Chains A and B, each alone.
Chain A
């Protein structure tokens, strides 16, 4: 098969081809690795390419397929954000501080993907420790948006989104703490799902903000998201916050029938600051849902304006504590010379190991938790968090899903906001509330702006309402073609010999 074909494939189409034995998992893996070699010099979506592992996984998948086994991800090439611990494989979190770190354990999600017979082809670039909205905070250089290489892919799961958009895999996993799956999905024109907090285990996912972090899939279509979610969801006794609740058959939920579904439009999400193209496109998308029988209602989420401030207090407070373990003592980077005091070792290690944004957030979070400031910042933020959660509860009394833009604008230019953290933080204005409330949220491509950049429709459901969410998203995609558009990439000439070394791995 020709690697350039890959760009038009989805999990569903690959599934059919693999099950019919029209293509082997090994052929698919080889084509994917070749595509990676061609696209990576342009996109830099990956921090490492796991070629040997991919071919071994593929061989195993072919054996299972040959034995008549079938499964949603059997033989499907996938990418993991480099925040997922992978046993024996470098796991960097796009930070210098994890230099040389190879975990002796797998994250639960990585384990489930492997058990399902998927083929791991690489680990995706991200903003360092998932802190950022553009992927520019990666210590190993930014990922570029496949739709426009001068633009950011969004963040922090920018590499995961760009890898799908560039045809380097058929699905990827990201994490979403304040929008980190949905925003890059929106910017890169792919579909992305942030499940309910507790739906997917966080075990082995390097923590940024523990009460907000959630694992989720990115892929071209909502149906593909459903296939991946069915594999990665489920209770994990190693994560006390994972919920012991049966995993529904998400693919079976995709009936296309949304007649009578009440779709809420939050007034606060169609307010000032939103780009005209984005607003117009989102309204049009909601209109499509109405055409399929959904009832559109207006709802209010009155505390939306406090979401960003609340998020940046809660998330940074937790981060300041979560990142304390990077101290140069047990693993990763150590910057110290004989004669240095303990404090010197800490200072030099953390100064050299962390990038500017990570330091900024550690400082902010440390401040928010400090004696004398705790009540005014952290505690108040937790109270506002409760108010935001109640906003959604009230709204969901009137509707089944909420529809809104994923982001106020399309992808911005590299460097455009890097020196203005506050402007950067506002990229997440429509996504952080969902994390604060622990709800599932989805972004699906719903159009393009005048510059040809993708726009995302965000759908939000009550906790554990993934079936409804996926059904609505899938119904939308049954009526639209946006998810079939592919970026035109100026691929580098085939360089088969370089497979396995592509991607500028650190």
Chain B
């Protein structure tokens, strides 16, 4: 689904959407202790007195987590204020061991950034209000026993970034485009794997609608619990239409938190504003204000990788790729890296792009090689793909044979030259052999030769096919064409 035009989708109504994205920062250890931040361990295996909130223990900031959050801030053009401040967000829940979450409140890490997205009307710049860091809570398990709940604190203290957009997103499709663009940035930086299904990227949406031209904002609802890009779009679209229905039937929107039910495709009320928590935020006295060293910041800025949109533009300019190819290839850093590695080995960007966008991505999808939202196991190595394209380009194999070679490479892991040698797939370029095959085909199809000579040009393809068949597909197609034309003209 491409970013549709909000004006035509919602009629006289204008949606106003702001997104809060929680992105898990890809560090080895937790935000305030040395415990592993990895998923998948047995319950409470990755815990210590600090992340269990035992008495008297204190948080110590993970410098790497800060570095990653700063990279994100720099890559989205944020300002980094001279100092940020940790704050406690107080509420009681069994999976929140200290009874408060260490977060940032009045003085966030970064402010005033932006993320560019593509819309039918062109590039749109979605402003960011802020980026701040915080620790994740643990996990409550309510259905394991009838009479008690269980708590797993492996996730408690895992570092998160909260990236808050301004309410300047105008449709569900724009929201989705924003999330994808943001994910691409995070993945390019290597600071978050952006996996919504696994919860390493989570999104809350603040949605309101107003009549086009109104300057006052409508009452907003907050949608939580949306766990895929597709569902973000569905949830927001549903919520926009629900609010429009409410307003058009003379009702008013209630400020509340709503949960998205993916099975039914609807949002439902979770708690109203009257039941909203008073989180009693106050500055965290166990941590000093965060004063970011400017020299370090300059260093991080200098070392930022090329961001997806810049890389996309360069792919068009430097490799002459069509815009669509460049967008697909730069949607993910690993894909872009793969492409450039192949092009570095053999400079035929368009052919390599075609192979990646066709056969490579098809296999990735079919074989689910991208479960982590980064391709962990490429069907063939970039250099091998490049060598295969080189074999086509130097006439050793035909494009048709290349399909066979490719399948063999995937199946056996062999180099293309080895496949060609083993299976005897070298293209026949010996014109004498081809001419003999042509003569044979023309002799056996004298009636069609007559038809061709009478003006039925389309039969050329038939003759080519017959010759290729006779040579086991190994004949050089260009040579076959040339000889056929020559003899048919005769």
Interfacial residues, chain A to chain B (CB-CB below 8 A): 83-85, 91, 93, 98, 101, 103-105, 107, 202-207, 209-211, 237-241, 317-318, 320-321, 323-327, 329-331, 338-339, 342, 346, 366, 369-371, 374, 378
* Cβ-based interface call for B59 (8 A): yes
Give Cα A107–Cα B52 distance, bound, in whole angstroms.
Answer: 16
Chain A: which residue is nearest B90 at the CB level? A321
Residues of B within 8 A of A240 (CB): 58-61, 286-288
**Contact between B60 and A205, CB atoms less than 8 A apart:** no
* Known interface pairs A346-B92, A378-B282; 13 further A-B residue pairs with C-beta atoms within 8 A, sorted by A's residue number: A104-B54, A202-B58, A203-B58, A211-B285, A241-B287, A321-B100, A324-B92, A324-B98, A327-B99, A329-B97, A329-B151, A338-B147, A369-B90
What's the nearest-Cβ distance from chain B to residue A173, in Å?
13
**Contact between A101 and B55, CB atoms less than 8 A apart:** yes
Enumerate B78-108 residues with CB–CB distance to A below 8 Å: 88, 90, 92, 94, 97-100
Residues of A within 8 A of B288 (CB): 240-241
**Contact between B57 and A374, CB atoms less than 8 A apart:** no
Residues of A within 8 A of B302 (CB): none
Residues of A within 8 A of B151 (CB): 329-330
Give Cα A317–Cα B282 distance, bound, in whole angstroms.
Answer: 9
**Contact between B52 and A330, CB atoms less than 8 A apart:** yes
**Contact between B56 and A207, CB atoms less than 8 A apart:** yes
Total contacting residues, chain B, CB less than 8 A: 31
Enumerate B90-136 residues with CB–CB distance to A below 8 Å: 90, 92, 94, 97-100
Contact pattern, B 4-48, Cβ under 8 Å of A = 1, otherwise 0: 000000000000000000000000000000000000000000000
What's the nearest-Cβ distance from chain A to residue B352, in Å?
50
* Cβ-based interface call for B218 (8 A): no
- Contact with B92, one of A101, A211, A239, A327 (Cβ below 8 angstroms): A327
Known: A321-B99, A329-B151. A103 touches B282 (CB 8 A): no
Give Cα A472–Cα B83 distance, bound, in whole angstroms.
Answer: 39
Give Cα A339–Cα B55 distance, bound, in whole angstroms.
Answer: 28
25 A–B contact pairs at CB < 8 A?
A: A83-B56, A84-B56, A91-B55, A101-B55, A103-B56, A104-B49, A105-B57, A107-B56, A202-B56, A204-B57, A207-B286, A237-B60, A238-B57, A241-B286, A318-B285, A324-B98, A324-B99, A327-B92, A327-B94, A331-B54, A331-B55, A342-B149, A346-B92, A366-B280, A369-B282
Chain B: which residue is nearest A129 at the CB level? B55
- Contact with A98, one of B55, B57, B58, B100 (Cβ below 8 angstroms): B55
Residues of B within 8 A of A84 (CB): 56
Chain A: which residue is nearest B44 at the CB level? A330
* Cβ-based interface call for B299 (8 A): no
* Cβ-based interface call for B53 (8 A): yes
* Cβ-based interface call for B430 (8 A): no
Residues of B within 8 A of A318 (CB): 282, 285
4 shortest interchain CB distances as A-B pairs:
A324-B99, A210-B285, A211-B285, A369-B280
What's the nearest-Cβ distance from chain A to residue B252, in Å?
24
What's the nearest-Cβ distance from chain B to residue A376, in Å?
14
Chain A: which residue is nearest B151 at the CB level? A329
Of A321, A323, A326, A371, most B-chain CB atoms within 10 Å: A321
Interfacial residues, chain B to chain A (CB-CB below 8 A): 49, 52-61, 88, 90, 92, 94, 97-100, 147-149, 151, 278, 280-282, 285-288
**Contact between B97 and A330, CB atoms less than 8 A apart:** yes
- Contact with A203, one of B57, B94, B100, B281 (Cβ below 8 angstroms): B57
Residues of A within 8 A of B60 (CB): 237-238, 240
**Contact between A325 and B278, CB atoms less than 8 A apart:** no
Chain B contact residues, majority secondary structure: loop
- Contact with A207, one of B55, B92, B94, B147 (Cβ below 8 angstroms): B55
Give Cα A84–Cα B60 distance, bound, in whole angstroms.
Answer: 19
What's the nearest-Cβ distance from chain A to residue B149, in Å?
8
What's the nearest-Cβ distance from chain A to residue B59, in Å?
7
Give Cα A203–Cα B55 distance, bound, in whole angstroms.
Answer: 10
**Contact between B97 and A325, CB atoms less than 8 A apart:** yes
**Contact between A205 and B100, CB atoms less than 8 A apart:** no
Chain A contact residues, majority secondary structure: loop
Give Cα A338–Cα B146 distance, bound, in whole angstroms.
Answer: 10
Residues of A within 8 A of B278 (CB): 370-371
- Contact with B55, one of A103, A327, A338, A370 (Cβ below 8 angstroms): A103
Chain A: which residue is nearest B94 at the CB level? A329
What's the nearest-Cβ distance from chain A to residue B439, in Å?
86
Give Cα A338–Cα B147 distance, bound, in whole angstroms.
Answer: 7
Give Cα A254–Cα B61 distance, bound, in whole angstroms.
Answer: 38
- Contact with B56, one of A203, A321, A329, A371 (Cβ below 8 angstroms): A203
What's the nearest-Cβ distance from chain B to residue A204, in Å?
5
Residues of A within 8 A of B56 (CB): 83-85, 103, 107, 202-207
Residues of B within 8 A of A107 (CB): 56
What's the nearest-Cβ distance from chain B to residue A3, in Å?
33
Residues of A within 8 A of B92 (CB): 324, 327, 346
What's the nearest-Cβ distance from chain A to residue B278, in Å?
5
What's the nearest-Cβ distance from chain B to residue A305, in Å?
24
Chain B: which residue is nearest A101 at the CB level? B55
Give Cα A370–Cα B280 distance, bound, in whole angstroms.
Answer: 5
**Contact between B285 and A374, CB atoms less than 8 A apart:** no
Of B54, B58, B151, most A-chain CB atoms within 10 Å: B58
Give Cα A321–Cα B94 distance, bound, in whole angstroms.
Answer: 15
Give Cα A239–Cα B59 distance, bound, in whole angstroms.
Answer: 7
Residues of A within 8 A of B94 (CB): 327, 329, 342
**Contact between A238 and B90, CB atoms less than 8 A apart:** no
Residues of B within 8 A of A331 (CB): 54-55
Chain B: which residue is nearest A323 at the CB level? B99
Give Cα A179–Cα B133 distance, bound, in whole angstroms.
Answer: 35
Give Cα A133–Cα B55 distance, bound, in whole angstroms.
Answer: 22
**Contact between A85 and B280, CB atoms less than 8 A apart:** no
Chain A: which residue is nearest B59 at the CB level? A240
Residues of A within 8 A of B149 (CB): 342
**Contact between A339 and B286, CB atoms less than 8 A apart:** no
Give Cα A204–Cα B50 distance, bound, in whole angstroms.
Answer: 10
**Contact between A103 and B285, CB atoms less than 8 A apart:** no
What's the nearest-Cβ distance from chain B to residue A329, in Å?
5
Residues of A within 8 A of B90 (CB): 320-321, 324, 369
Give Cα A43–Cα B230 distance, bound, in whole angstroms.
Answer: 70
Give Cα A339–Cα B147 distance, bound, in whole angstroms.
Answer: 7
Give Cα A241–Cα B288 distance, bound, in whole angstroms.
Answer: 7
Give Cα A138–Cα B282 distance, bound, in whole angstroms.
Answer: 29
Chain A: which residue is nearest B277 at the CB level? A371
Residues of B within 8 A of A209 (CB): 285
- Contact with B53, one of A325, A346, A366, A371 (Cβ below 8 angstroms): A325
What's the nearest-Cβ distance from chain B to residue A339, in Å?
7
Give Cα A17–Cα B47 distance, bound, in whole angstroms.
Answer: 46
What's the nearest-Cβ distance from chain B to residue A449, in Å?
37
What's the nearest-Cβ distance from chain B to residue A360, in Å?
17
Give Cα A330–Cα B51 distance, bound, in whole angstroms.
Answer: 12
Chain A: which residue is nearest B55 at the CB level? A206
Give Cα A5–Cα B61 distance, bound, in whole angstroms.
Answer: 49
**Contact between B58 and A238, CB atoms less than 8 A apart:** yes
Known: A330-B54, A369-B280, A369-B282. A105 touches B49 (CB 8 A): yes
Residues of A within 8 A of B147 (CB): 338-339
**Contact between A324 and B55, CB atoms less than 8 A apart:** no
Of B56, B58, B60, most A-chain CB atoms within 10 Å: B56
Give Cα A374–Cα B87 distance, bound, in whole angstroms.
Answer: 14
Give Cα A241–Cα B90 distance, bound, in whole angstroms.
Answer: 21
Residues of A within 8 A of B285 (CB): 209-211, 241, 318
Residues of A within 8 A of B52 (CB): 330
Give Cα A204–Cα B56 distance, bound, in whole angstroms.
Answer: 4
Give Cα A330–Cα B95 distance, bound, in whole angstroms.
Answer: 10
Chain B: which residue is nearest A329 at the CB level? B94
Chain B: which residue is nearest A369 at the CB level? B280
What's the nearest-Cβ distance from chain B to residue A59, in Å?
28
Residues of B within 8 A of A238 (CB): 57-58, 60
